C-alpha cells in the first residue's frame, strides 16, 4: 500500500485532529472597539479620550483650550472683552479673512499652499469697484463677476500646477506678484475707490439684524440642524450594521452646542447698546456649512482627502487627480475674491493695497492654528473658524489693552509656531503608535 493511503499516527495524528477541531470550532467575531467604548458609558469615553491623546489624535483640543484661556485672560484684564460690541467686532472682522481661510483649508488638504490669496482678494475688490462704481454696472452683477474672476484665477493656478507640473508654491508666488500688479493697474492713478452708501458690499459688514428673533432663530436652526445630522448619521450607521452614537451622546453634544449658540445670541441681542446679529457672521457660517458638507459628505470631498494623503495611490484608484487639483485651487480663488469684498466693506472701499500686509499670513495661520495639517490629508473646514477666532480674539484683546501692533504680530507668530509644532509632534506620535 502506498504511503499516501496510510493513516496518520503519533504526533501527526494529534496535529491533524487539532487542525480539524480548529476548523470546526466557531471563532469569536471581532468586536469594534467603539462599541466597547459606548457600552462602558462615561468611563469608556474618558478612557478612549486618554488613548487618543496618548496616540497623538488631538483634533481641535489645543485650539479650544487656547480659546478658553484667551477669553479668561483678556476678560480678567478688561471686562469689556466679552461685551456685545467686542463679540460683534470679533465676528465681523473674522468673516472676510475666515472665508479666505476656508479656501486655504481646501488647498492644505491637498498638501499644497496658495500664496496668492491676498492679491486675488485685492483683484476681486478692484473688479467690483471698477465695474460697479466707475462704470455703473449693476451692483449684484459686479459682485458676481468679481467672484467669477477669482474662480478663473484659481483655476489658472491649478492648471499650471496640475497639467504643466509647476510647483504650487512657485505658481501662486508668481500669481501673488502678477495679480498685485493687475490690482494696482486697475485702481488707476487715484489708487482707491470708496464704497457707495447702501451698496451690496457696504452691507456685507455694515448690516446687523436688529430683531432679536434673528439671533435666537439662527441659534435654534443651528442646534436643530446639528442634532438632526447626528441622528441621521446614527440611523444610517445602524442600517449598515456599523457602530453608531447612542442617543445619550447625541443629546449631550447637542446640548453643548445649544449652550454656546444661545449664549452668543444672548450677548449679541440683550445687553444695552447691542447692535444685533451681524450679516457678515451669518454669511461666514453659511460658507462654513456648505464647505463642510462638500468635504465630509460628498465623493468629491473624499477624493480631496485621498489626493492629499497619497496622490499616486489616488490616481491608481481611478481618481482624476488633475481635476481635483484644478478645482480646489479654483475654490480657493473664489473664496479669496469673496473675502476681498468683505475687506473692502470694512476698509470703506477698494484700494491698491487691499490684501497686502499681513493678510496672507493671517489667512494661512488661521487654517493651521485651527488644526489643518500642513502635510496634507488631514483637517476640517471648521478649523478656519477656530483659527480666525484665536487670531482675532488676540487682536481684539490687545487692542482693548492698548498694545502696539508689533506685539500682536509677535504673539500671533508664536501661536502659529506652537500650532505647527503640535501638528508635527502629533503626526510623529501617531506614526509611533502605528495609526498612520
Global pTM?
0.84
Which comes out higher in pLDDT, residue 7 or 214?
214
Q: For residues 46 and 24, give the distance between their C-alpha atoms in angstroms, rounded to a whole number.
A: 39
CA distances from 366 to 201, 232, 316 (A): 24, 31, 33
pLDDT value of position 44: 60
Confidence of residue 237 (pLDDT cuts 50, 70, 90): confident
Confidence of residue 35 (pLDDT cuts 50, 70, 90): low
What is the mean pLDDT of the segment spanning 217-222?
A: 93
pLDDT value of position 239: 86
**Nearest residue to 370 (alpha-carbon basis) of 358, 388, 357:** 388
In 3-state terms, what secondary structure has residue 194?
A: strand
| Residue 427 clears pLDDT 70, i.e. is over it | no
Q: What DSSP element (H or E) covers 50?
A: helix 42-54
- Contact 343/354 with Cβ under 8 angstroms? yes
Total number of residues shown for the chain: 436
pLDDT digits (tens, 9 = 90+) for 319-357: 999 999 999 999 999 999 999 999 999 999 999 999 888
| Residue 215 clears pLDDT 80, i.e. is over it | yes
Burial label for 180, CB within 10 Å (0-12, 13-18, 19+), is buried
Count CB atoms within 10 A of the CB of residue 227: 17
DSSP 8-state class, residue 3: G
| Residue 435 clears pLDDT 70, i.e. is over it | no
Which comes out higher in pLDDT, residue 218 or 378?
218
- Contact 385/288 with Cβ under 8 angstroms? yes
Find all residues with CB under 8 Å of 10, minimum gap 6, and list them: none
Side-chain-facing half-sphere of 105: CA atoms under 13 Å = 31
DSSP 8-state class, residue 195: P
- Here the cell at position 118 is 491676498
pLDDT value of position 19: 47
Confidence of residue 144 (pLDDT cuts 50, 70, 90): very high
Lowest mean pLDDT, pick from 207-211, 237-241, 282-286: 237-241
pLDDT value of position 149: 96
- Here the cell at position 159 is 492648471
pLDDT value of position 358: 85
pLDDT averaged over every residue in the chain: 84
| Residue 155 clears pLDDT 60, i.e. is over it | yes
Count CB atoms within 10 A of the CB of residue 351: 23
**Which range has the top average pLDDT, 89-93, 146-150, 348-352?**
146-150
Which comes out higher in pLDDT, residue 427 or 18?
427
Q: For residues 271 and 343, give the distance between their C-alpha atoms in angstroms, rounded to a whole number.
A: 28
Which comes out higher in pLDDT, residue 57 or 369?
369
Confidence of residue 31 (pLDDT cuts 50, 70, 90): very low
Please give the distance of CA 220 from its chain centroid, rounded to a whole number: 22
| Residue 141 clears pLDDT 90, i.e. is over it | yes
CA distances from 436 to 57, 195, 321, 401, 430 (A): 11, 50, 22, 44, 6
| Residue 65 clears pLDDT 80, i.e. is over it | yes
pLDDT value of position 240: 85
What is the mean pLDDT of the segment spanning 259-283?
A: 87
DSSP 8-state class, residue 4: G
What is the mean pLDDT of the segment spanning 404-419?
A: 78
pLDDT value of position 406: 78
pLDDT digits (tens, 9 = 90+) for 108-121: 999 899 999 999 99
Confidence of residue 238 (pLDDT cuts 50, 70, 90): confident
pLDDT value of position 23: 47
Q: At what angle do helices 383-400 and 279-297 cross, to 10 degrees?
A: 150
- Contact 161/329 with Cβ under 8 angstroms? yes
Find all residues with CB under 8 Å of 379, minimum gap 6, and list them: 105, 108, 109, 367, 371, 372, 373
pLDDT value of position 404: 76
Q: For residues 330 and 323, give the distance between their C-alpha atoms in angstroms, rounded to a whole number.
A: 10
Amino acid at each position: 500500500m502506498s504511503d499516501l493511503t496510510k493513516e496518520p499516527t503519533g504526533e501527526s495524528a494529534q496535529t491533524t485532529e487539532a487542525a480539524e477541531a480548529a476548523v470546526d470550532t466557531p471563532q469569536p467575531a471581532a468586536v469594534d472597539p467603539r462599541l466597547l467604548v459606548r457600552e462602558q458609558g462615561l468611563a469608556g469615553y474618558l478612557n478612549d479620550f486618554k488613548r487618543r491623546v496618548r496616540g497623538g489624535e488631538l483634533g481641535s483640543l489645543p485650539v479650544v483650550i487656547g480659546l478658553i484661556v484667551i477669553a479668561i485672560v483678556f476678560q480678567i484684564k478688561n471686562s469689556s472683552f466679552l461685551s456685545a460690541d467686542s463679540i460683534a467686532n470679533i465676528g465681523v472682522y473674522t468673516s472676510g479673512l475666515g472665508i479666505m481661510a476656508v479656501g486655504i483649508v481646501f488647498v492644505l488638504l491637498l498638501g499644497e499652499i496658495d500664496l496668492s490669496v491676498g492679491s486675488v482678494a485685492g483683484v476681486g475688490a478692484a473688479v467690483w469697484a471698477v465695474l460697479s462704481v466707475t462704470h455703473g454696472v449693476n451692483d449684484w452683477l459686479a459682485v458676481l463677476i468679481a467672484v467669477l474672476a477669482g474662480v478663473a484665477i484659481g483655476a489658472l493656478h491649478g492648471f499650471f500646477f496640475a497639467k504643466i507640473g509647476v510647483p504650487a508654491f512657485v505658481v501662486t508666488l508668481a500669481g501673488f506678484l502678477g495679480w498685485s500688479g493687475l490690482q494696482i493697474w486697475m485702481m488707476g492713478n487715484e489708487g482707491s475707490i470708496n464704497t457707495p452708501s447702501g451698496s451690496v458690499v457696504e452691507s456685507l459688514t455694515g448690516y446687523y439684524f436688529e430683531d432679536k428673533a434673528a439671533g435666537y432663530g439662527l441659534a435654534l436652526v443651528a442646534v436643530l440642524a446639528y442634532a438632526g445630522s447626528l441622528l441621521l448619521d446614527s440611523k444610517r450607521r445602524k442600517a449598515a450594521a456599523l457602530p453608531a452614537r447612542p442617543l445619550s451622546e447625541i443629546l449631550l453634544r447637542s446640548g453643548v452646542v445649544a449652550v454656546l449658540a444661545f449664549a452668543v445670541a444672548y450677548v449679541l441681542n440683550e445687553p444695552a447698546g447691542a447692535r444685533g446679529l451681524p450679516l457678515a457672521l451669518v454669511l461666514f457660517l453659511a460658507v462654513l456649512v456648505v464647505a463642510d458638507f462638500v468635504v465630509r459628505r460628498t465623493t468629491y470631498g473624499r477624493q480631496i482627502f485621498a489626493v492629499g494623503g497619497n496622490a499616486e495611490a489616488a490616481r491608481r484608484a481611478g481618481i482624476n487627480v488633475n481635476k481635483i487639483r484644478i478645482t480646489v485651487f479654483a475654490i480657493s480663488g473664489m473664496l479669496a475674491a469673496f473675502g476681498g469684498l468683505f475687506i473692502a466693506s470694512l476698509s470703506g472701499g477698494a484700494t491698491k493695497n487691499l490684501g497686502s500686509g499681513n493678510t496672507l499670513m493671517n489667512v494661512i495661520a488661521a487654517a493651521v492654528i485651527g488644526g489643518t495639517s500642513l502635510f496634507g490629508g488631514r483637517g476640517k473646514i471648521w478649523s478656519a473658524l477656530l483659527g480666525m477666532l484665536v487670531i482675532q480674539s488676540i487682536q481684539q484683546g490687545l487692542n482693548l489693552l492698548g498694545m502696539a501692533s508689533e506685539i500682536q504680530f509677535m504673539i500671533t507668530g508664536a501661536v502659529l509656531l506652537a500650532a505647527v509644532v503640535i501638528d508635527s509632534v502629533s503626526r510623529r506620535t501617531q506614526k509611533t503608535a502605528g495609526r498612520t
